[in-house]
Amino acid sequence: MHRSTLPAPQQPRHRVAPVTDTALMTDRYELTMIDAAMRAGTAFRPSVFEAFARRLPGARRYGVVAGTGRFLERVAEFRFGDDELRFLRENHVVSPELLDWLADYRFSGDIRGYAEGELYFPGSPILVIEGTFAEAVVLETVALSVLNYDSAVANAATRMTRAAKGRPVAEMGSRRANEEAAVAAARAAYIAGFSATSNLAAGARWGIPTMGTAAHSFTLLHDTEAEAFQAQIDVLGVDTTLLVDTYDIEQGIRTAIEVAGTSLGGIRLDSGDLVEVAADARRLLDSLGATDTRITVTSDLDEYAIAGLQASPVDAYGVGTSVVTGSGAPAAGMVYKLVSRQGDDGEWVGVGKKSEDKASKPGEKSAVRTLDAGGVAVEETVLVTDDPLVVEAAAQTGRPLQVPLVVAGEIQQQWLGHSGVELARQRHDASVAELPSEAHRLARGEPVLPTVFR
């Protein structure tokens, strides 16, 4: 009989109060590695870790870095307080010596990486984390949990916004994700070009524009559709958007214009063959004199459905499930690997896995996006060095991609909060504008830029 080679899970010996602090949002083996390394005398060797993706998810043409600002906030709050230390002690997770070290844990090293919103390709050194082995390895799980989800959402969102060809796309997926993931998804989608979110927490935390009016239940609450529309208009005004497909779409549109007049801001369509329904709705609105009334469509849209509506008289889109689940690629596939460390003699040694299909390139890295004379990106150039002179020379034909994120333990504040989100959104727009046109094809294919190691 086959036996699993995984160790049996160890259950907590005592009930403890739920702990939600960042420091325990980690895998147990991060701490047991440090414990063993302390015993071996190697835990505090200066080390360099790197976060990167071996390939792009879903055979997409490019990826979008998202979650960097959220990760930096997690680094700032990564602390082992009394509750966390008690949990570790009572469940015999690590030695008393490591508990003493964890009690004083503060990341004191350096982190540089791609600015949030930047594009990435296979092998791009998205984050470079420098510190001792112990203080850097303990950040692995939280770094990947943030970057892998947020970037997956951004990867889907950028495809949707490009397919929309300038028409606004709103994020409406809160009910299809974990409650905290919903907030993160709204942020990542906005960075990748979405215009607004239905999630109020995302609006409060990140300054993202919020939107929303009424659901079908609101219409069903009232005795007639006309009464529901009037109640909504009484509060939100005639520039609101009325949901017209609770019963019959044609009659719903007629009722909406009867109640609101031809100055009605918009209607929303959430069912049926949207290509046909949108065309019929536009003709009817125009015939009723509501020529400026906008049409928003929802109903399980993804990038392919949006592309299929390009020729339709649609003014805006609302996307839910597909964007918050990465539209078929729910994780970005990033990994966090040790690439360099000091030996006992003080010399730096490049290290990396050699496993088939999972090899990692040894050595600390910098990166430059190489551009042609017209400013179009032609190559992702990864330099296996941190020598600023080499990076400066390579930048003569492009632009350096890494920026300081943490310097000697101090988080660089410009990447945080509302202003950090806006910087990321601007970075995304500028980076996408550099790509060749074939980058925006929705068909599966090779990365639009080759990654070249020098």
Cα of 198 vs its chain's centroid, Å: 17
CB half-sphere exposure, 30, CA atoms < 13 A = 21
Eight-state DSSP code of residue 310: T
Residue 391 is predicted with a pLDDT of 83
Report phi then psi at 52, rounded to 5.
-155, 170
The structural domains of the chain, with segments of one domain joined by +, span: 22-138+333-453, 168-324
CB half-sphere exposure, 275, CA atoms < 13 A = 8
Report phi then psi at 438, rounded to 5.
-65, -10
Alpha helices for 26-139 (secondary structure H): 28-40, 68-76, 82-90, 96-103, 133-137
E strands, 351-433, are 366-371, 377-383, 398-400, 402-407, 410-411
Distance CA 61, CA 441 (A): 8
Tokens of 246: 């609770």
Q: Is the CATH number of domain 168-324 3.40.50.2300? A: no
Structural contact between residues 339 and 363, judged by C-beta atoms closer than 8 angstroms: yes
Residue 10 is predicted with a pLDDT of 52
| Cβ atoms < 10 Å from Cβ of 64 | 31
The CATH class for the domain spanning 22-138+333-453 reads alpha beta
Angle of CA points 8, 10, 13, to nearest 5° = 155
Asked if the domains at 22-138+333-453 and 168-324 fall in one CATH topology, the answer is: no
Most distant CA atoms of the chain, gap in Å: 83
Q: pLDDT below 70 — which residues of the chain?
A: 1-20
Reading phi first (left if > 0) and then psi (alpha if -120 to 50, else beta), residue 232 is in: alpha
Distance CA 142, CA 336 (A): 11
- DSSP string spanning 224-236? SHHHHHHHHHHHH
Residue 385 is predicted with a pLDDT of 86
CA of 426: how far to CAs of 23, 118, 431, in Å? 31, 9, 9
